[in-house]
Amino acid sequence: MTSVDDLWYLADEASQQAEQTYHRLAEQHEEFLEFETTKHVTRRRFRTVAARIEANGAPYGAHTLVQRPDGALLLVRHEALGLWVLPGGETDGDETFREAAVRELAEEAGIEAAYDGLGMLGRVHFRAGGHDTWGVLPLFGARATDTEPVVNDPDGEITAARWFEDLPEDTRDREHLETWREYNR
């Protein structure tokens, strides 16, 4: 008996959902920067992210690019990744991406912010063996109204939250964040 590999089908369905999500977000927001990145992952990880993308178009949920008035950017320390990252995460239930970004910012950094709209919209391509798919990464721009971060992450993944004028070398997607900062000066 031959086993059928359904990963190609899942990848195709995920790509279709990503396309719909991308266009919906692009139509809802007037001005934002775009970026692309590619990640080579294991077959198992590919299946996980493809299933997330198939559900709502986004492998990682939504995140916030939040700045203080002096231009410093808020990052949180994700210990499992060993990196500084933007606060954010997956949607819960029927949450919109923006609602998820607001909730995650409160949980991971305890910061309140005035949201300006979509700051960046990324296309994250995933490859594993002969399979590929992609998902959307919405990054909302915001201005801090509260500047003292307090971590209260219910998942325990985030161990610190700090403001950075100069981004640390171990910042995920550092080059894209630097581009956004330059654009917004």
Nearest C-alpha neighbor of 111 from the set 153, 70, 59:
153
Quickly list DSSP for 85-135.
Answer: E-SEE---TT--HHHHHHHHHHHHH---EEEEEEEEEEEEEEEETTEEEEE
Distance CA 101, CA 139 (A): 8
Q: What is the mean pLDDT of residues 129-137?
A: 96
Where are the chain's structural domains? 7-183
Query: Which residue is listed with tokens 């990324």?
Result: 122
Q: What is the pTM of this model?
A: 0.93
- Using CA atoms, how far residue 86 sits from 11, 14, 40, in Å, is 26, 24, 21
Query: What digits encode the pLDDT tens for the residues 74-117?
Result: 999 999 999 999 999 999 989 999 999 999 999 999 999 999 99
Query: What digits encode the pLDDT tens for the residues 38-80?
Result: 999 999 999 999 999 999 999 999 999 999 999 999 999 999 9
How does the average pLDDT of the chain come out, rounded? 94
Instruction: Tell the CATH topology of 7-183.
Output: Nucleoside Triphosphate Pyrophosphohydrolase (3.90.79)
| pLDDT value of residue 1 | 40
| pLDDT value of residue 27 | 96
